[in-house]
Amino acid sequence: MGIPAWIWFVIAAVALVAGLGLLAADRAKEGSRNRERMRWAQLRGWQFVEEDERLPQQWSNGAIGYFGADAAVNVVAGSTFTSDGRRPVFIFDIETEGQIPAVVVAVRCNKKHRIPIEMWLSSVPFQRADMPEMLGPIGSRYAFADDADGARVVITQELVDAADQLGGDVGVAWLENEWVLASVAPTAGPSRLERLLRDLGEIADIVDPFDEDYDAGRHQASAPIPAEASVPSEATAPGTPAAGTPVQQPPADGPPKPSES
């Protein structure tokens, strides 16, 4: 004897209610994140927009290349003080296929980095199709860049020590265009983002000091990456990073403005 039709109806109804419940929970969580980010921006005197589809197009490496980004949501734009002065910043959630896999924090430098450099935690699955070449371990992270010699000039022991201080919830930090960026877990609240901003500001001061004489002297230091670093076979994914076309950058002497979408 087959299963009565009413049992199938009950099963379908339960599944529907469960699905609606999960959807409502996701929307409540997103609404809470939205309100929290907005209040934080208001307290700091920064700008806030709910969505900006063009902002992630400025970058193609790091978490943007790994997760992809249909849009940036819950976007905060402002500026923060570092030991070398005030720098523009962005904080936004990556939205990919309706999900939020990470929060990206970006601090702008005054000059464009010659090559993109990615610094991934060894504990995260960082492989992707367009992965730059692995250079080897640097502290608790692995460095990736398509120009090994150029990367070794930038990756000094000071940078390695600063990257080690970012924390185990920061899967990747990277240099691209004139920005220093990092991605953190989507559950990160304002206090965690504040600390990450300070840490990225320190990295920005290391790779882009306002004192150019100091910058020239620093780059004569030996790089911590060995010329022949051992590469774990399961982590190797050589390739060329996708080339992103940067949108117009905000002026260096004022807070960046997210586009109103």
Instruction: Measure the CA–CA gap between 128 and 145, rounded to whole angstroms.
Output: 14
pLDDT per residue as tens digits for the range 183-193: 999 999 999 99
In a domain, 202, yes or no: yes
Asked if 135 contacts 143 with a C-beta cutoff of 8 angstroms, the reply is yes
Tell me whether residue 107 is in a domain: yes
For residue 7, being part of any structural domain is answered with no
Does residue 150 fall inside a structural domain?
Answer: yes
Within a domain: residue 92?
yes
Average pLDDT score over the chain: 79
Q: What are 4-14's pLDDT values in tens digits? A: 665 655 566 66
**Tens digits of residue pLDDT in 194-218:** 999 999 999 999 999 976 544 444 4
194 assigned to some structural domain: yes
pLDDT surpasses 90 at 123: no
CA distances from 115 to 119, 154, 166 (A): 13, 9, 21
Question: Structural domain of residue 139, as residue ranges?
Answer: 47-209
Give the mean model confidence (pLDDT) for residues 147-166.
Answer: 95
Looking at the structure of the chain, the number of domains it has is 1
Question: Is residue 148 assigned to a domain?
Answer: yes
- Residue 4 resides in a domain: no
∠104-105-107 over CA atoms, to 5°?
140
DSSP per position, 45-97: T-EEEEEESSGGGG--SHHHHHH--SEEEEEEEEEEEETTEEEEEEEEEEEBT
pLDDT at 210: 79
